[in-house]
Amino acid sequence: MNKSFNHPPKLAKWLLHKLTGWKVRYSALGDFDEIFHSIAEEKGSGIAIIWYWFQSIKSIPSFFIDKIYWGVIMLVNYSKLAFRNLLKNKQSSFINIFGLSAAIGVSIVSFLFFDFNYYRDTFHKNAANIFLVESVVENKNGDQLWGSTPIPLGPSLKGDFPQVKSFVRLNRIGGIVRFEDKVFNEVITFVDNDFFNVFTFPLLYGDKNKILTDNNIVLSYETAEKYFGNENPLGKQITLNVGNEIKETFLVNGVAQKLPKNSSFFFDVLMPYDKMNEMLSENFNDWTKDTRATFILLNNASEADYLKSNLSKYISVQNDANFDRKIKEFRLEPLRTMAQNSYKILGDIVYINILPGQTLSLLSSGLFLLLLACFNYVNISLISASGRFKEIGIRKVMGGKRLSIVIQFLGENIIFCMLALLMGVLLGKYFFAPGFNSLFRGFNFEVNVFENTRLLLFLIILLIATGIGSGLYPALYISSFQPANIFRGKSKLKSKNRFTKTLLAFQFVLSIILLVNGVTLIQNADYQSSRDWGYEQDQVITIPLQEKNRFIALNNAVRSNTNVVSTAGSQEKVGYWISRINIEAELNKYEVVQYGVGDNFFETYGMEIKKGRGFDKEIKSDIEQSIIVNETFAKMMNWDDPIGKRILFSQKPYYIIGVVKDFHYVDFMWKIEPVVMFKSPEEEFMFLAVKAKAGKVIETENYIEKKWKELYPDSPYHGFFQDQVFDIYLTAMKSVAKTCSVSAIISLIITCMGIFGLVTLSIEKRMKELSIRKVLGASVSSIAKLINNEFIKIFIFSFIIAVPVSYYLINLLLDSIWKYRPELSYLPFLLAGVLLIISAAITVVSQIYKASVKNPVDYLRYE
């Protein structure tokens, strides 16, 4: 045989090396070499090399399939093991899965909340180029953003700037709509006829190009249903009554499809903008009159900056016309951010204002719960790993690489997380989301993975994050044990594992924070319900007159009833109605809230006049030049005795004759502002307030309703009890408290489950030790003390950390939302600590008890 050996091509050999599993590699590569050499002998090394390459490539498919085949078999093996393990520790598995799925359910709702807020108004095709024009009004307290803008601004912008493709103004006026026997109050939204070209609201019936002209009306889907049922309303005529007494008929020539859920503004009835000026007999070109919104559509969004810097010329036009309200500048707000910023804008058209604080707190509670659940899993898998040492040892001995063990454990974890995810989605869909929707009006969240692709993406990311987050550390830790140590019995998972303890401490801290949160918010809801409104709201019935000149008749009709203690009229409503004006005092301008009221107003509402006097029927000059201010106003002006001081309104002087105690005209999320109250003539009143005798309130209200129907049969009756005016707000407060309590309780349960799992496993590990102790005569309580000690130390440590952190956080939250709130007492912290320790104690004790009644013989037998 030829002694000089040629060598097979190294590259091809390397390729084969990589392709073949170790079992096959040895003999197959040997075959390759053997044949290579025999060919090299016979036909020369060139041909042999060619053959080698050719044969290698030809063999690739088969080797590849071989490798995959065995990969699949291992996968099946791992899955079998995974399920077997899951079933072995049924208790802790269930604990973990339930905890994680509850956390996932809550996170889903948090995500939907964030998603809703972030993606509002994105469905408009032109969204990127639509801007809202805002006015900035100067105030002593700083600049205030307003959504309302002068009526002529829109058309002027289009006329002066070629960059403005079109404009759409929006205004809302209440009116009465009637079709055959159906009469309802509706809010009429007047829009310019480019409305459907600028915004994307698809029509169900009607031609986009023919609507919003002349005497035509467009209805929303729900409004059409209300008046016409399932019929097509096109061509039908309805009568409308807006502003003055004249009723006009209009033709329905469009019905919009159901508005998308993430639209920030809605409409019920749409009419052409020009019609509004006609019906209200107002001037087109009046720069003192505002419209609720002016939108512009630019050809290109990048031109917004150029436009912004050129808006100043309109400022002087506006300010010349309008003495009382001086605008400092006009701004352009992209449609994209309008809804998110709506909490900053006054007088805008966005329906749901969401404060950034709310989004943040909801997101963080979801995150907290997830962290808790993941920590649980990490802790429990670390400790339960000690039961699987033998399995790992054998695997390693049989040639398993560390990587494949890590993959095995990680894979088990992902299967587990998938189960939890499924349960979590179900929980979210049928429990948490409906719960949230019912607690907070106006939200209608749906957990629909098929429709909401962002939700699907979120869930996938969640799966990967929780799978890796909760599985990586245990997998790495467990796979690191050396088989020799395992079989020698030398490797024990230290029960004093610092990592486990830190995780548990973290869980305690999180639970305490959430508990403090929950308790404080419950306290707050309670406080909000019982806080003094600044006036006496019980026994008062308020009736919106809806039109001027109705007060005298109704007042006379009602006054004579023996159950009526007093009546009064006003132009504004006490409760969610803010009318602001600009006044001048001591040479400075101020924006204040105004009320125009009549005789007996303060008595009827039980408002206390602290200094001076109320309006006097006998004193004729009261109507001309007297005003009453609230305490906040006096404080603002730094007047100790405001009586007799002078202010200017619309260039006319008024003199303060009294100071009224501050009253809440809106709910406690808003600070009470300076209020100025004028005496108004009775013809101007829009509200009648009636104070009834105690116990006779409902009777009186029925009487008033009867009288109303006699006097004004064509107008719907909208009287309400004054003490219900903040009902929606108070219910919302209770809902917030409920939600936070729910998450606090969930976190408590998760933490207890974590403790439960830990204690169970830690006791099991120490059964030998405990059995020996028991045999030697230790009592249950001493054993209990042993185990408790560890947990108590962790608990105290966590408590010390948690208290200042939660104090800071909860103050932050409360301040950002409420202007009037209770002071933090020690109660929430005490309660949180007690709840936590009791739950933990019960959990630990129950397990200890179970352990103590076990027969020590069972555990000592093997030795």
Partner 1 sequence: MKLLSRSEEIVLMAIWKLQGNAYGVTIRQKIFEDTGQRWSIGAVYAPLHRIEKKGLVKSYDGNPVPERGGRSKVYYTVTAKGKKSLIQMKEVNESVWNDAPNLGVDKA
Q: How many CA atoms lie within 13 A of 688 on its CB side?
A: 31
With contact defined as beta carbons under 8 Å apart, do 531 and 662 qualify?
A: no
Least distance between partner 1 and beta carbon 408 (Å):
20
202 forms part of the interface with partner 1 (CB under 8 A): no
What whole-number distance in Å separates Cα of residue 725 and Cα of residue 820?
A: 18
Q: Is 23 in the site for partner 1 (CB under 8 A)?
A: yes
Which of 30, 71, 159, 716: binder of partner 1 (CB under 8 A)?
A: 30
Confirm or reject binding of residue 63 to partner 1 (CB under 8 A).
yes
Q: Which is nearer to partner 1, 56 or 539 (CB)?
A: 56
Given 60, 187, 484, 812, the residue binding partner 1 (CB under 8 A)? 60
Radius of gyration, alpha carbons of the chain: 38
Report how far apart the first and last C-alpha atoms of the chain are (Å, whole number): 65
Tell me how far, at minimum, the Cβ of 3 lies from partner 1, in Å. Answer: 10
State the nearest-atom distance from the C-beta of 47 to partner 1, in Å: 16
Helix, coil or strand: residue 776: coil
Instruction: Report whether 201 contacts 257 (CB < 8 A).
Output: yes
48 and 37 in contact (C-beta within 8 Å)? yes
Q: How far apart are CA 507 and CA 755, in angstroms?
A: 10
Decide: is 265 part of the binding site for partner 1 (CB under 8 A): no
Residue 597 CA to its chain's centroid (Å): 39
* Residue closer to partner 1 (CB basis): 55 or 126: 55
- Of 6, 15, 55, 820, the residue at the interface with partner 1 (CB under 8 A) is 55
Sign of CA dihedral 693, 697, 703, 706: positive
Q: Which 3 state secondary structure label does DSSP give 170?
A: strand
Stretch that binds partner 1, among 17-25, 285-293, 295-303, 588-596 (CB under 8 A): 17-25
Q: How far is CA 750 from CA 90, 381, 531, 672, 708, in A?
A: 16, 15, 35, 42, 58
Applying CB under 8 A, among 6, 9, 15, 28 the residue interacting with partner 1 is 28
Q: Does 59 bind partner 1 (CB under 8 A)?
A: yes
| β-pairing verdict for 203-205 and 652-660 | unpaired
Region binding partner 1 by CB under 8 A among candidate stretches 16-24, 342-350, 493-501, 626-634: 16-24
Residue with Cβ nearer partner 1 (66 or 547): 66
Residue 70 and residue 733: Cα distance in Å, rounded?
60
Restricted to residues 31-50, the positions that interact with partner 1 (CB under 8 A) are: 31-35, 37-38
Binding segment toward partner 1, per CB under 8 A, in 62-70, 108-116, 552-560, 839-847: 62-70
Describe the crossing of helices 727-765 and 498-530 by its angle, rounded to 10 degrees.
Answer: 160
Which three-class secondary structure state does DSSP give residue 615? coil
The reply to whether 8 sits near partner 1 by the rule CB under 8 A is yes
- Per rule CB under 8 A, is residue 437 in the interface with partner 1? no
Q: What is the largest CA-CA distance in the chain?
A: 138
Sign of CA dihedral 18, 20, 23, 29: negative
Q: For residues 44 and 681, which CB has a smaller minimum distance to partner 1 in the complex?
A: 44
Least distance between partner 1 and beta carbon 29 (Å): 7
Nearer to partner 1, 31 or 214 (CB): 31
Q: Given the complex with partner 1, which of 8 and 471 has the nearer CB atom?
A: 8
Distant-in-sequence, close-in-space partners of 719: CB < 8 Å, separation ≥ 6: 541, 542, 543, 544, 701, 704, 705, 708
Number of chain positions touching partner 1 (CB under 8 A): 28
Q: Which is nearer to partner 1, 10 or 861 (CB)?
A: 10
Report the C-alpha gap between 407 and 404 in whole angstroms. Answer: 5
The correct pick among 50, 65, 187, 698 for binding partner 1 (CB under 8 A) is 65
Indicate which single residue of 11, 14, 18, 27 sits in contact with partner 1 (rule: CB under 8 A).
27
For partner 1, which residue of 6, 9, 15, 24 counts as binding (CB under 8 A)?
A: 24
Strand partners, 568: 689
Please tell me whether residue 58 binds partner 1 under the rule CB under 8 A. Answer: yes
Residues that bind partner 1 (CB under 8 A): 5, 8, 20-21, 23-24, 26-35, 37-38, 55, 58-63, 65-66, 69
